Chain A
Amino acid sequence: MPYTIKPDQGYDTDVESLDYLKGHVDTGDRWTLNFGPQHPATHTTLRLVLELDGERVARCTPHIGYLHSGFEKLAEHMDYNQYVTIVSRMNYLSPIANDICWHHAVEKLLDIDITPRCKVLRTIMAELARIQDHLLCCGAAALDLGGFTAFLYGFNQRERVYDICDFIAGQRYHPDWTRVGGAMQDLPDEAVFKKMVKRFIDEELAQAIADMENLLMRNRIFIDRVANIGQISKQEAIAWGLSGPCARASGVERDLRKDEPYLCYARNWDGQGAEPVDFKVIVHEDGDAFARFHVRMEEMKQSAHIVRQLIDDIPGGPIDTFADGKMVKPDKKDVYGSIEGLIQHFEIIMSNRGWDTPVAEVYGANETANGELGYYIVADGGPRSFRAHTRPPSFMNYATMARLTEGHLLSDIVAIIGSLNVVAAELDR
């Protein structure tokens, strides 16, 4: 079945209608190529069935689901804290951003306003996660096209973000750091945390971005491979549901940090009239693979700018909203050292206890590195969600794959996949 959607509605992407193909003679001799699911450029498991005319893609049919693991079914059987371990496995390039988004939705459901300290720490971690994701994506965009050095410069510095996650949560890859109304623990040592973050932002990241820009931004070979490839207009980007850097690269001025502000992006986030953090929304007009790459490079600088505003003035006080209440798990020290702590621990852990949620539905979304990540929670009054739907940005972005590739050469496909930054675990859930 070709990927044409109602030709009369103007979204026909039939190969013959593209400007790109002007002057191209259809040989009428088409052949089919199976691309993936095991291929170094498919970033885990993506499969495309390509109908080729010579070397040109006449039809592209993506097949997904090779990594489907039933995350949303699992959500119905895990409580609001346990499910954080699953969400951080969705977009594993920036796992902590998923944690923050999931608990953002849960806190919206329970009407919890988290403490200023927690807001600042979550904002810092969300921005570090964005940098972490973009460093890999920009590096991999070059890697897929043969630029191995730029990839290593980016990948090397991602390790520093893992170190920070390791420091605050005890796990480097899947921190599972947030909890309802707070975090699993306060910072082990605030001075060390500040030092680590500052060193990363001011020295290591700045150097990595400069290196990658020097290698790629004026690199004739790289630009020839990505400029005018996988182009999509603003109107189409909106109609196809693109979000995040992919949409902004087509000129869509949409960023949930500005449109539906949360955490420190909102006005008066500390309850004492604090201004929202200052940053610019990066928008590019071209809408091609190079624009998506360029938007991500610039967004990293904006993220660093946000972190710099917050890192020096982390508010004091508790990180958990209910530090004195019954809603958070007590410190391990209290669990093993006092009877009250032990009782409260079991009050939270036991499957017939936990939160009294409203019988209601909420949708909470964050702007993550890939775009709008949202969770729609249907609560039935118990400690587990009745249904927790994920709005995965990779899924909606990857749906345009057929539209973006048709008419291009086979070798352009890796450039387009790289520029969309599809994460299969989030795509298939």
Chain B
Amino acid sequence: MPAAKPHKPNLDHPTLKLVKEKFPDTKFKATEYRGQTSLIVAPQDFHEVMRFLRDDERCAYDFLSECFGIDYLNYPAPQPGRFAVVYNLVNTKTADRFFVKVYVDPSLPTDGIEKDPALVIDSVCDLWPSAEWPEREVFDMFGIRFNDHPDMRRILTWEEYPGHPLRKDYPLRGRGEREHFKIVDRSDA
């Protein structure tokens, strides 16, 4: 197969212009592929931008379809950070879809479960209550915490789980959690 031509993103999504107008001094990046546009926002501006995207009547992204994490360790294309959290927004009136991405870089080794002060993003639960469970899942799977989240617990794995399994440096078959499971008997129950 011949080498594919580099993709040239088409950045004429109307929302990008509105965001740029509203936040003239803030730096943004944007990408587009197959007609879906993503806006890349720095963590400190993130909550304000999301509030604008929901409340501005020209954007009116009232439906947060989901959010999820991506670990870009050893990804072939350069990325602004190692972890990304992607928010998938929909305007239910126009059926317009828009993606917002936030990148964070860890400051501690990523093979453990230590609380990393660099891996923190503002929660959007106050804007869309539907963000609650997906943000818990991002925390569970990637160890990214959310400020002001009402219930920041693990959701799919159990509370003492010693890893964040969707990180790329976590092995597919685990680190022996299944074999070294703590057995509770009646004496210490």
Residues of A within 8 A of B (CB): 1, 3-6, 9, 11, 64-65, 68, 70, 72-74, 76-77, 108-109, 111, 238-241, 243, 252-254, 259-260, 356, 358-363, 372, 374, 376, 378, 380-381, 386-387, 389, 391, 395-396, 399, 403, 428-429
Docked-complex contact B151 and A64, CB < 8 angstroms: no
Complex Cα distance, B125 from A372, in Å, reads 20
Q: Which of A1, A64, A374 contacts B65 (CB 8 A)?
A: A374
**Among B11-19, B22-30, B92-100, B108-116, the stretch in contact with A:** B92-100
- CB-CB < 8 A to A3: which residues of B? 150-151
**Among B41-49, B70-78, B180-188, the stretch in contact with A:** B70-78
Q: Which of B66, B92, B150 contacts A391 (CB 8 A)?
A: B66
Docked-complex contact A1 and B151, CB < 8 angstroms: yes
Chain B residue nearest to A69 in the complex (CB): B156
Docked-complex contact B66 and A5, CB < 8 angstroms: no
Docked-complex contact B130 and A396, CB < 8 angstroms: yes
Total residues of chain B contacting the partner, CB 8 A: 47
Q: Interface readout for B83-97 with A: 1 if CB under 8 Å, 0 if not?
A: 000101000100101
Q: Which of B4, B92, B172 has the most CB of A within 10 A?
A: B92
Chain A residue nearest to B71 in the complex (CB): A387
Complex Cα distance, B155 from A1, in Å, reads 14
Complex Cα distance, B154 from A108, in Å, reads 33
- CB-CB < 8 A to B34: which residues of A? 108-109, 111, 360, 362
- CB-CB < 8 A to A73: which residues of B? 165-166, 170, 172
- CB-CB < 8 A to B141: which residues of A? 72
Docked-complex contact B71 and A240, CB < 8 angstroms: no
Q: Which of B7, B36, B156 has the most CB of A within 10 A?
A: B156
Docked-complex contact B150 and A72, CB < 8 angstroms: no
Complex Cα distance, B113 from A293, in Å, reads 43
Docked-complex contact A241 and B33, CB < 8 angstroms: no
Q: Which of A6, A241, A254, A380 contacts B126 (CB 8 A)?
A: A6
Docked-complex contact A359 and B76, CB < 8 angstroms: yes
- CB-CB < 8 A to A239: which residues of B? 62, 128-130
Say yes or no: A362-B95 contact (C-beta < 8 A), given A64-B155, A64-B156.
no
Q: Which of A68, A387, A429 has the most CB of B within 10 A?
A: A387
Say yes or no: A380-B36 contact (C-beta < 8 A), given A1-B151, A9-B126, A241-B65.
no
Q: Which of B65, B130, B157 contacts A68 (CB 8 A)?
A: B157
